[in-house]
């Protein structure tokens, strides 16, 4: 039977905040000493003992379990310097502002780490885009062959998604970077504390403006998980591309063996399990978002114990996101793009649009050009012949405007390289994108 002590406890998961909790306490006690709220020599003694505890944790010492990390560190401090001195650390502070501080310190670090992981991933995409310059791959709409594009252009689209993901994190960071300590339980404190000094010691840009808001607010956690959900959605879509491209019916790429698994029954199988798991783990992060939104909904101000439940979804999101970014990066780095056959690239008459554009350049309205090319496509589809084999004289049967120049259009390579519009799938555009991204990351 679960007892109430176990039910109340958060130590099993909030112990990962230990070093942040200690950093917060050191700053707090230094401020108490500087403002003469406690004797300077006591402040010094407490800060030194806390530094020793931090060092011990870093070298692998396990804290004795308590209800939560805040009590665990306090108990360790009492063991080291006794209750009379250690007890002064509680002055002008509550666990309510303490936990809000710890989570903010933790998240500031994690956002910075996530941004670095995204940058690494973007570098891989750029490297692969350069390596594979000129390689063609079918572009789809509705998962039906639409127009051939450059593989580099295809994967660079993910570098741009990741760029926006990074912008969202940077924006979120500005709201995490606000120091709540000094709000005490909910109303502030009657001691003459110097919150700006504490914020400076902890490298916060701002101090929160309302003590009740400070101990109640978990918007910043929601915002981070929401940004993480969007990143996971992008990784999931990239995984889906890889899964599709690996399917033998498509057969566009190879990936390193470590990113596939065999089947216990079908010896021939090479399943894209890693990509599938990134796609699957996206659900965990969305779940975390719904979890925390539901947790906070309708909570009265200020702190409620419900809020202790913010940490499992947050930590799980950080772990899942970190692992997924690392693995997706390594997986994409291992992708070898095949040189696709004409049949693979042009499946589904994907050069038809450019044939219609040819007629438009001769003066026909696009609507009419579209209708003419549709007749050609319908006819050739019946006989299963690719458009590429058409000659100018055969084309002339459908429109007098077709001449020998139209034959150039019929090559998939030309179809991709003439997409010279800004942001299109031409080599020139790919190079411009790489230059722009290199400046941005």
Q: Which residues bind ligand ARG (CB under 6 A)?
A: 10, 14, 68, 95-96, 99, 303, 305, 307-308
* Complex with ligand ARG: residue 252 or 303, whichever CB lies closer: 303
* Complex with ligand ARG: residue 14 or 241, whichever CB lies closer: 14
Backbone angles phi, psi at 136, to 5 degrees: -100, 150
* Complex with ligand ARG: residue 67 or 388, whichever CB lies closer: 67
User: Cα–Cα distance between 318 and 325 in angstroms, integer?
Assistant: 11
Determine which one of 12, 36, 205, 263 is catalytic. 263
* Complex with ligand ARG: residue 69 or 278, whichever CB lies closer: 69
* Complex with ligand ARG: residue 12 or 404, whichever CB lies closer: 12
Element (DSSP H or E) covering residue 168: helix 151-176
Whole-angstrom CA distances from 122 to 59, 125, 129, 336, 439 are 34, 5, 10, 17, 12
Element (DSSP H or E) covering residue 339: none
Cβ of residue 77: shortest distance to ligand ARG, in angstroms?
Answer: 17
Whole-angstrom CA distances from 293 to 70, 216, 307, 315, 320 are 25, 14, 11, 15, 19
Cβ of residue 12: shortest distance to ligand ARG, in angstroms?
Answer: 11
* Complex with ligand ARG: residue 74 or 147, whichever CB lies closer: 74
Sort strands 206-207 and 178-179 into parallel, antiparallel or unpaired. Answer: parallel
Answer yes or no: 263 catalytic.
yes
Cβ of residue 165: shortest distance to ligand ARG, in angstroms?
Answer: 28
CB neighbourhood size of 176 (10 A): 21
User: Cα–Cα distance between 239 and 432 in angstroms, integer?
Assistant: 26
Cβ of residue 102: shortest distance to ligand ARG, in angstroms?
Answer: 9
* Complex with ligand ARG: residue 214 or 308, whichever CB lies closer: 308
Cβ of residue 27: shortest distance to ligand ARG, in angstroms?
Answer: 18
Cβ of residue 211: shortest distance to ligand ARG, in angstroms?
Answer: 14
Answer yes or no: 142 catalytic.
yes
Whole-angstrom CA distances from 182 to 90, 157, 188, 275 are 11, 45, 6, 46
User: Cα–Cα distance between 165 and 225 in angstroms, integer?
Assistant: 12
Query: Which residues, in sequence order, are CB contacts of 253 under 8 Å at separation 6+?
Result: 242, 245, 246, 335, 336, 337, 338
Backbone angles phi, psi at 5, to 5 degrees: -60, -45
Determine which one of 142, 190, 264, 421 is catalytic. 142
Cα 3 off chain centre by: 39
Cβ of residue 71: shortest distance to ligand ARG, in angstroms?
Answer: 8
Whole-angstrom CA distances from 116 to 169, 224, 276, 287 are 11, 16, 24, 25
* Complex with ligand ARG: residue 286 or 303, whichever CB lies closer: 303
Tokens of 190: 């009657």
Residue 61 DSSP one-character state: P
Tokens of 342: 């004409």
Cβ of residue 76: shortest distance to ligand ARG, in angstroms?
Answer: 16
> Annotated catalytic sites, by residue?
142, 263
């Amino acid at each position: 039977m679960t007892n109430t002590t176990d039910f109340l406890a958060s130590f099993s998961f909030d112990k990962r905040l230990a070093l942040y909790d200690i950093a917060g306490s050191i700053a707090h006690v230094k401020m108490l000493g500087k403002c003469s709220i406690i004797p300077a020599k006591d402040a010094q003694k407490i800060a030194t003992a806390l530094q020793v505890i931090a060092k011990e944790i870093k070298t692998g010492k396990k804290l004795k379990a308590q209800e939560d990390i805040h009590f665990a560190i306090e108990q360790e401090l009492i063991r080291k310097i006794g209750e009379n001195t250690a007890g002064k650390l509680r002055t002008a502070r509550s666990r309510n502002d303490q936990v809000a501080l710890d989570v903010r310190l933790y998240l500031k670090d994690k956002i910075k780490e996530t941004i670095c992981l995204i940058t690494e991933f973007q570098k891989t995409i750029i490297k692969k885009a350069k390596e594979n310059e000129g390689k063609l791959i079918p572009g789809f709409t509705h998962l039906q062959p639409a127009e051939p594009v450059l593989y580099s252009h295809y994967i660079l689209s993910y570098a741009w998604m990741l760029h926006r993901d990074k912008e969202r994190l940077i924006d979120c960071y500005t709201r995490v970077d606000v120091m709540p300590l000094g709000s005490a339980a909910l109303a502030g404190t009657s001691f003459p504390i110097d919150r700006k000094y504490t914020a400076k010691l902890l490298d916060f840009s701002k101090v929160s403006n309302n003590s009740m808001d400070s101990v109640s607010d978990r918007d910043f956690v929601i915002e981070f998980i929401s940004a993480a959900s969007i990143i996971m959605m992008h990784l999931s879509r990239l995984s889906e591309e890889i899964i599709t491209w690996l399917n033998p019916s498509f057969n566009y790429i190879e990936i390193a063996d470590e990113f596939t698994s065999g089947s216990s029954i079908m010896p021939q199988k090479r399943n894209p399990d890693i990509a599938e798991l990134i796609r699957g783990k996206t659900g965990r992060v969305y779940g975390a978002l719904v979890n925390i939104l539901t947790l906070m909904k309708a909570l009265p101000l200020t702190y409620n114990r419900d809020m202790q439940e913010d940490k499992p979804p947050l930590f799980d999101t950080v772990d899942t996101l970190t692992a997924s970014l690392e693995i997706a990066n390594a997986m994409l780095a291992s992708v070898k793009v095949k040189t696709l056959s004409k049949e693979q690239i042009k499946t589904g008459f994907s050069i038809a649009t450019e044939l219609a554009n040819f007629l438009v350049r001769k003066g026909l309205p696009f609507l009419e050009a579209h209708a003419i090319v549709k007749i050609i496509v319908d006819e050739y589809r019946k006989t299963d012949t690719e458009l590429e084999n058409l000659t100018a004289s055969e084309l002339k049967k459908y429109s007098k405007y077709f001449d020998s120049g139209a034959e150039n259009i019929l090559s998939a390579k030309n179809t991709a390289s003439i997409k010279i519009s800004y942001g299109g799938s031409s080599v020139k555009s790919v190079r411009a994108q790489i230059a722009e991204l290199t400046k941005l990351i």
